[in-house]
Amino acid sequence: MSDHEIRVDGEPTEAADVVVEWEDRDHGLARLVVDGRAVPAIVEGAGSEWFVTLRGRRIPVTVRTWRERVLAEAETAARVHGGPTVVKATLPGLVVAVAVAEGEEVEEGSPLLTIEAMKMQNEVRAPRAGRVVAVEVAAGQAVATGAALLRLE
Amino acid sequence: MSLRTDTPGVTPPFRRLLVANRGEIAIRVIRACRELGISPIAVHSEVDADALHVRAADRSELIGPAAARDSYLSIDAILDAGRRSGAEAIHPGYGFLSENATFAAAVEAAGFVFVGPPASALEALGNKLAARRAADGGGVPIVPGTTVALGDDTSAVAGIGYPVMLKAAAGGGGRGMRRVDREADLSDAMAAARREAEAAFGDGTIYVERMVTPARHVEVQLLGDRHGGLAVLGERDCSIQRRHQKLVEESPSPALDEATRSALFESARRVARTVDFHNAATVEFLVDDRLDHFFLEMNTRLQVEHGVTELVTGLDLVGWQIRVAAGEALPPAVLEAPRHGHAIEVRIYAEDPYDGFRPTAGRIGAWQMPEGPGVRIDAGVAADMELRTEYDPLLVKLMVHADNRPAAVARLRRVLDETRIGGLQTDAGFLRWLLEDPAFVAGDYDTGFIATRWRNGPPLGGEERQLAATLAAAAREAEAVPTRRPAPAATSAWAREARRDALRR
């Protein structure tokens, strides 16, 4: 296990000396025994990307080998040095408004478009500063999770 | 075939009943039908053909495409489904068309029995401004503010005193509501509230109320028959809210003394008397820190949180809705139903409480529901189901009942620890935290609780991080081992524990 780098919600974390007992591997049901008390948990994911749910809180965890770590760092470096960023839908819904046009410069955090899901309006904001090079959707269009909404450069 | 489908000893009030709703509340109504010997008919949109409520009913009628306005909100489609299925009565559930006076009238005009208050009561109390005037006229205290629509002349607002709350006359579900702290923000807030009200209800009329703060949201359950019988079935405290929508409800309210409780019950009776009322309704009040109460609105339908009252009274509210709709009179056992113990409900939504209760979406993975004494589960989904973003993100209501409040809180803690929902973030993290919060445990909370005490939740603790790291690392390790074979991971974990045990000795 020591050859894995573990990050919990982005922060490097060491595994503890705690017993893990599986209840239902297919659904990721497990329990951790801490000081003689069982803590029920869920673990979901595959490869390096995992989610652990403890007491109702779903915590993102990455468990990476040395090789995966090097690759991920190279990818981050490429992004920082100005490659295009694709803004994707994080939930399925209906695009109700697009606030920007192609060619427009945006600040990090400025509103890009609004997606309605579960009867709520959710604003999608710019993950970084840049120029809008392509708007892939229009108001009234339904989008699935992961759909490309627009591209920033 | 001689399978018996009637219920021995029960004369069904109707032969068939159409449930004009979906999800957990449709299943709740279907269960009441079963116990009364009525054949339940479901309705479904194109994307709901495999939904749980469809499977629970005897048959289901397709009423249109996914968009609610073309299916669950379509009066014509529902009435057609009623005719096709040979239903005698229609139960609207909550939300959708449940408080729509036009629908109630159309149902009756088409020859069905509407399981709910008369259309005239829906009409009179559906508009919140009209309801305020009615309550005021009936001698019930209302929140200080305007009883007419707020126009361009805003001089009335200054007289009420800031902060104020702008509300939509046609409002519901917390939409079209805006808190305004100072005069400079008023015109912008009015424009925003009007826009939101117009978009949500097709009516931009707004009015203004003084902001009662701190306040508890306490509501009174009413059940009436067609013969003048009116039962007041206790109160529910619904002060734990986000976006003016409830997350936790309990009965009795830990905030009330007996005098306030009686005053609240009397006010609720008076509001009901302002209209021709029968069936189920709830009168909502704000109770301030001096235990003065103010009428908020009357919901002329079954509430999401009706189960809390069912647990403390032992009554089947939905069953009684159907029976009084058929003309039955409420017996003394209902009219003077005693209340026992304490009940609490928590609503599990597909929402991220660590990110402003933003809706989450996706596919439900693990689905482990609690069991055991004093537990009730009303769920609308199950394991491995894709959530529909077109509809309400309520997944399940967990309810507990115990002798007293501390026992109910302890039971709910146990129940939440037994509950495991995978695949997406839910508000369960907030709810589990809530049950350890000293103010909630003491019953000392108000409608500002989430904004002031929870905000976006505590940061991840060191122990939580370590446990998450440990489990994820173990999962990655176990991944190399196929799951379907005779549980090697489980064996190894148990074996490791056994080895440890041996070493300790």
Three-state DSSP class for B150?
coil
- From CA B279, how far away is CA B79, in angstroms rounded? 21
Does A57 contact B464 at a Cβ distance shorter than 8 Å?
Answer: yes
List phi, psi (to 5°) of B446.
-140, -175
Which ipTM score applies to this complex? 0.88
Q: Is the pLDDT of residue B504 over 70?
A: no
Domain boundaries, chain B: 16-115, 144-210, 215-454, 462-504
Q: Which CATH number fits domain B215-454: 3.30.70.1350, 3.30.470.20, 3.90.1150.10, 3.40.980.10?
A: 3.30.470.20
CA angle, residues B63, B64, B70, in degrees to nearest 5: 110
**DSSP assignment, residue B219?**
E
Strand partners, A62: A7, A49
> Do the Cβ atoms of B207 and B129 come closer than 8 Å?
yes
List, in order, residues 6 or more apart from A83 with CB less than 8 Å away. none
pLDDT digits (tens, 9 = 90+) for B335-394: 999 999 999 999 999 999 999 999 998 899 999 999 999 999 999 999 999 998 889 899
pLDDT-derived band at A72 (thresholds 50, 70, 90) equals confident
Closest CA to B474 of A56, A4, A70, A38: A4
Measure A112 CA to nearest chain B CA, in Å. Answer: 18
pLDDT-derived band at B490 (thresholds 50, 70, 90) equals very low
Does A6 contact B477 at a Cβ distance shorter than 8 Å?
Answer: no
> A82-152 has which fold?
OB fold (Dihydrolipoamide Acetyltransferase, E2P) (2.40.50)
- From CA B100, how far away is CA B107, in angstroms rounded? 11
In the block, tokens 């206790």 appear at B234
Please compute Rg for chain B using Cα positions: 24
Does B366 contact A29 at a Cβ distance shorter than 8 Å?
Answer: yes
State the alpha helices, DSSP H only, in B36-166: 52-56, 75-85, 101-109, 119-126, 128-137, 155-160
Q: Is the pLDDT of residue B158 over 90?
A: no
Instruction: Please give the CATH number for the structural domain made up of B16-115.
Output: 3.40.50.20
Q: Is the dihedral of CA B158, B160, B161, B167 positive or negative?
A: negative
> Do the Cβ atoms of B116 and B104 come closer than 8 Å?
yes
Q: Is the pLDDT of residue B81 over 50?
A: yes
Give the chain B residue whose CA is nearest to the CA of A1: B473
Domain boundaries, chain A: 5-67, 82-152
Does B460 contact A59 at a Cβ distance shorter than 8 Å?
Answer: yes
pLDDT-derived band at B487 (thresholds 50, 70, 90) equals very low
3-state secondary structure B69-81: HHCCCCHHHHHHH
Chain A residues inside the 8 Å CB shell of B366: 24, 27-29, 42, 44
- From CA A107, how far away is CA B103, in angstroms rounded? 48
Average pLDDT over residues B147-174: 87
Chain A residues inside the 8 Å CB shell of B473: 1, 4, 6, 15, 63
List, in order, residues 6 or more apart from B25 with CB less than 8 Å away. B93, B94, B95, B302, B304, B378, B380
Residue, of B6 and B298, whose pLDDT is higher: B298
Residue B462, token pair as written in the block: 């060191």
Give the chain A residue whose CA is nearest to the CA of B432: A55
Does B473 contact A59 at a Cβ distance shorter than 8 Å?
Answer: no
Does A118 contact B393 at a Cβ distance shorter than 8 Å?
Answer: yes
**Closest partner CB to A145 (pick from B361, B392, B497):** B361
**A146: contact with B, CB 8 A cutoff:** no
**Closest partner CB to B494 (pick from A21, A28, A44):** A21
pLDDT digits (tens, 9 = 90+) for B49-78: 999 999 999 999 999 999 999 999 999 999
Measure A135 CA to nearest chain B CA, in Å. Answer: 23
* Mean pLDDT across chain B: 92
Instruction: Please give the CATH number for the structural domain made up of B144-210.
Output: 3.30.1490.20
